[in-house]
Amino acid sequence: MIIYQSTSEQFIQDVRLNKLTDKIVNSFKEIIGKNPSYSERVSFQNSLPRIRDIIEIAELKNIIIAIKYQIPYNNKRIDCLLFTKL
């Protein structure tokens, strides 16, 4: 399960237009069945622009970004994954 997934270009655009937190919250509700906590929302708003900055500074192109990946057979989630498109 992944709460949000997109290309680096779309991720950057979503952060710039301040749409990413809303997209993640809506997807979180749809997939998990409840709203993320207030602290999770604040974490999204504070950390995702920094991830965008890293992607831009490193000039990472043609990558996929996944937010809140559910680890199989576990209750833990990985906050952010970056991987290349093939």
pLDDT, tens only, 55-86: 999 999 889 999 988 888 888 888 899 998 77
Give the per-residue pLDDT at 72.
Answer: 85
3-state secondary structure of 23: helix
Residue 11 sits at the vertex; the CA angle it makes with 38 and 75, to the nearest 5 degrees, is 50
Q: Could you tell me the pTM of the whole model?
A: 0.85
Give the per-residue pLDDT at 85.
Answer: 75
Q: Mention every residue, 6+ apart, whose C-beta is less than 8 A from residue 85.
A: 7, 62, 63, 64
Structural domains of the chain, count: 1
Alpha-carbon gap, residue 6 to 14, rounded angstroms: 10
Q: Which domain holds residue 13?
A: 2-84
Average pLDDT estimate for 8-23: 94
Q: Count the neighbouring beta carbons within 10 Å of the beta carbon of residue 23.
A: 15
